[in-house]
Structures are given as C-alpha cells and as structure tokens.
Amino acid sequence: MATMYDFNVKDRKGGQVSLKDYEGKVVLVVNTATGCGFTPHYEPLEAMYRELRDKGFEILDFPCNQFANQAPGSEDEIHEFCTMKFGTEFPQFGKIDVNGDSADPLFAWLATEKPFEGFGKGLKNAALEKYAATNNKKFGDKAYIKWNFTKFLIDREGNVVSRFEPTVDMKEVEDKVKAIL
C-alpha cells in the first residue's frame, strides 16, 4: 500500500525532494493560487504552521494554475507574493498540475485515497460546484481536485486521513490537525 513517502516532488528551483523527508510528521498538503477568492487561507495556514510546527506539523504548498488561471506567475513571483503578503514560512514547491494527464502523481494518489464529496451546502458552495464542474470538464475522469486550496491531511505514517475542500472552515481543519498531532 502506497504512502506519501513513496512520492518525489519538485522544489521551487526544480530540484527533486523525497517526501520521505517528512516521515513521522503530520502533514497538510495544499494546492494553492495567488489570485483566488480562497487565497486568504494563507493567513490561517501560516498561523497554524507557526503554532504547531514544533509539535511535528508541516504544510506543503503546491501552486497550481489549472483553476481559472489564478496562479499565473513564476515560482519566484508566487513565493515572493506569499512571503510578502502573508509571511509564509512553510515549504512551497514548484508549480504543478493537479488534474488531467499531466497531474502530479502525488495529487492523483491523494485524490484517489480521499475522493471529492462535494463543496457542502449553501448558495456559495453550489455556485462554486457549478463553476468548478465547468472548469474541470476538460479533465474528464482525471479531474482529481475541484478547486484551489483543497487540503489533504496526512498522518505520521504517511496515510491520507482527511480531505478538506476550500469551502471547509479553517477552524475545522485546525481542529483535525490538532487531533492527530
């Protein structure tokens, strides 16, 4: 059975990083964008990181431009935006695709382990679901991730334990992280 530790990803400079480097830690993997309505999630993510990193918590940030072209900058531009605007200190990796034939294998695995179950109830969530469905139609059965700021919680053994769509309240995400720490 695969775990997160079986994957390699690219850092912002194009170098290979083994996710085995995070073995024994609780990890939140997030696909992000700098021009999204959910971009303010960086603030509570960074606050959670600063509070919990000494307890064995990591956040792995993967910029993605597949959702309405909301991360058009280079890796350096994206990193500068995040550090200047939100003071992010957690690791940010190279820009990736999370859907389609070019989807990063890590995200295809994450989404297979915890498939999409909807954005939740309410008018705003229904509107996002409709917009996401239109955007992701081009990826067919390889539309693994439905929108920016989808988060996957990984336990200390490298297993996916939760998936949080961007519409999930960040307090709920933090509570689940703390519960498995």
Query: What is the distance between the alpha carbons of residues 86 and 83, in angstroms, rounded to a whole number?
Result: 6
Q: Which 8-state DSSP code applies to residue 92? A: B
Q: How many residues does the chain have?
A: 181
Query: What is the distance between the alpha carbons of residues 142 and 129, in angstroms, rounded to a whole number?
Result: 16
The verdict on whether 64 is a catalytic residue reads no
Among residues 36, 64, 110, 177, the one annotated as catalytic is 36
- Please, which contacts does 17-20 make with residues 24 or more away whose CB atoms are closer than 8 Å? 17/93, 19/60, 19/106, 19/158
User: Nearest to residue 60, comparing CAs of 10, 103, 132, 13?
Assistant: 10
Q: Which 8-state DSSP code applies to residue 149? A: T
154 burial type by CB count under 10 A (0-12 exposed, 13-18 middle, 19+ buried): buried
User: Nearest to residue 26, comparing CAs of 63, 51, 62?
Assistant: 51
Q: What residues are annotated to the active site?
A: 36
